[in-house]
Amino acid sequence: MRILTQESVAVLIDMQDRLFLHMHEKDMLLTNCLKLIDGLKILDIPMLITQQYSAGLGPTITPLIEKFTEFKYIEKNCFSCCDEPAFMDSLGQFKKPVTLLFGIESHVCILQTCIDLLDKGLFPVVIEDCISSRNVADKNIAIARMRQEGARITSCESLLLELTRRAGNERFKSISRIIK
């Protein structure tokens, strides 16, 4: 399955202050997520952002908020984004079959959202170097499970270049600067 810009929407899941502090390799996670957001913006991929129980876990981390001129998020209390009606309404408005997933935690909200998207006949793509859990074993088990369930697993650089499709144009040059 080729991942195409016109068929894709991205979902940043629960990258919140109090949860992010405990993530495995959080500095690398943040670096990769910032690159991914920059690349998705260049490629005009729409993005949805969720926050899990904001009163307890705090807001989305500041470096990510600063990437958006108008920051909006969908509040949720369910682990799966798909169990939140506001999320499903927002996702449905795009009418795109491919959902690019990144954020935290791999073995909870990412995994459950991924499985539910598959159940709904959509194609989740998990950006492996843009997800994390507190424990690396939980992340690895979640990735194996998502792959077993039928999700596509990729990396930030691979995804951005697949979406770009060709070199020698301004979009490629912009993406190239991000991933170097």
- 171, 41 Cβ separation under 8 angstroms: no
Please state, in angstroms and rounded to a whole number, the distance separating the CA atoms of residues 159 and 129: 11
- Which entry of 33, 81, 82, 109 is annotated as an active-site residue? 109
Of residues 165, 156, 168, 175, the one with CA closest to residue 30: 156
> Quick check: 105 and 138 in contact, CB under 8 A?
yes
The answer to whether residue 82 is catalytic is no
- Largest separation between any pair of C-alpha atoms in the chain: 47
User: What is the phi-psi region of residue 100: left when phi exceeds 0, alpha when psi lies from -120 to 50, beta otherwise?
Assistant: beta
Structure tokens at 76: 């949720």
Catalytic residue among 14, 82, 114, 116: 14
State yes or no: is 14 an active-site residue: yes
CB-based contact 96:117 (threshold 8 Å):
no
83 is catalytic: no
For residue 18, what are its two tokens? 């109090």
* DSSP three-state, residue 21: coil
Name the residues annotated as catalytic: 14, 76, 109
